[in-house]
Amino acid sequence: MKPAPFEYVAPGSLEEALAVLGEHGDDAKILAGGQSLVPMMNFRLAQPSMLVDCNRLANLDFVRVSEEGELRIGAMTRQRRLERDPLVARHAPLLHGTVPYVAHPQIRNRGTVGGSLAHADPASELPVVALTRGFRLRLHRSGSDRWVTAEDFFVGLLETALEPEEMLTEIAIPPLPSRTGWAFVEMARRHGDYAQVGVAVLVTLGEQGICQDAKLVYLSVGETPMAAPRAAELLIGSSLGEEDFAAAAAMAATHEIDPGADIHATENYKRHLAQVLTVRALRQARERAVVADS
């Protein structure tokens, strides 16, 4: 199908874009990579009366390290750039390692970092990474801006803390703590498809290989990216042995995720998958943490 008619503007500066959003509010939609919005418009699931094309905001396309050592990424940075940029590989290895699971190169060439986060699809990889790594997100409106944490940003199914007149402009990723291993694993029917279940994990080693900190976040098993803090608690203080992994995986898969059935999988299958993938992810993360330690 074809999109319904709309008015189109392509502002050359952030101020102009924010002014249009301020004036039109809910009737206007930001067009970033268009890789989620345009399919919805083609199906007429979305019929915005005005599109604010932000692809000319070249100064929102950047990757740099701030003085505090945070990695800063502009919202209009293409997803494809994240897998090619050496700064991302060095400072945000979980993000770098996860981006290739987002759709296909043809989609990532257009799709943006900001668009993926703002779209807040619980089946998407980047929101999971944002929650796992504690991203901070910068939201601008005409005349002011605010920072929110990833935890406060994702509020529901395709729903974020963004107000209609706001734009996500930048994300900040804290440095990875030392002796920390990461992993992302997912199961999709074909490479590049939305996954049935996926999980990102971090483990930090302390003295004598004892786990000091852990984080597990799942995709496609709830209305938002789903964190599993109780599973993480089981890991903290443990020596990250196989029994510890099994206990944490069972806790997360049984009590902390909320997968519905879909045409490809029953709820039980998804819980089973979550359990298996969690153990795989934890093994990888432990290995990386040990390497980071030596």
Ligand X SMILES: Cc1cc2nc3c(=O)[nH]c(=O)nc-3n(C[C@H](O)[C@H](O)[C@H](O)COP(=O)(O)OP(=O)(O)OC[C@H]3O[C@@H](n4cnc5c(N)ncnc54)[C@H](O)[C@@H]3O)c2cc1C
Residues that bind other proteins (CB under 8 A): 1-8, 10, 31, 34-35, 38-39, 41-43, 51, 53, 55, 80, 103-107, 109-110, 190-192
By CB under 6 A, name the one of 77, 98, 116, 196 that touches ligand X.
116
| Closer residue to ligand X in complex, CB, 34/209 | 34
By CB under 6 A, name the one of 74, 93, 100, 111 that touches ligand X.
111
At closest approach, how far in Å is the CB of 114 from ligand X?
Answer: 3
Among ligand X, other proteins, none, partner that 272 touches (CB below 5 to 8 angstroms by kind): none
Q: Does 21 bind ligand X (CB under 6 A)?
A: no
By CB under 6 A, name the one of 14, 20, 31, 228 that touches ligand X.
31
| Nearest to 109, CA basis, from 99, 117, 121, 123 | 99
Q: Does 35 bind ligand X (CB under 6 A)?
A: yes
What letter would DSSP give residue 255? I
Q: Who's near 106: CB < 8 A, 6+ residues apart?
A: none
Q: Does 167 bind ligand X (CB under 6 A)?
A: yes
Residue with tokens 């703590």: 177
Q: Does 33 bind ligand X (CB under 6 A)?
A: yes
Among other proteins, ligand X, none, partner that 116 touches (CB below 5 to 8 angstroms by kind): ligand X
* CA 175 vs CA 152, 181, 216: distances in Å: 20, 13, 18
By CB under 6 A, name the one of 14, 18, 71, 75 that touches ligand X.
75
| Closer residue to ligand X in complex, CB, 111/181 | 111
By CB under 6 A, name the one of 162, 176, 273, 274 that touches ligand X.
162
Distance CA 258, CA 197 (A): 11
| Nearest to 123, CA basis, from 80, 97, 173, 158 | 158
The DSSP element (H or E) to which 88 belongs, if any, is helix 86-91
Helix/strand/coil percent split, the chain, to 5: 40, 25, 35
Distance CA 139, CA 122 (A): 20
Cβ atoms of 214 and 232 within 8 Å: the answer is: yes
Instruction: Tell me the residue nearest to ligand X as measured from the CB.
Output: 115
Contact positions vs ligand X (CB under 6 A): 29-37, 39, 75, 102-103, 107, 111-112, 114-116, 118-119, 121, 124-126, 162, 167-168, 194
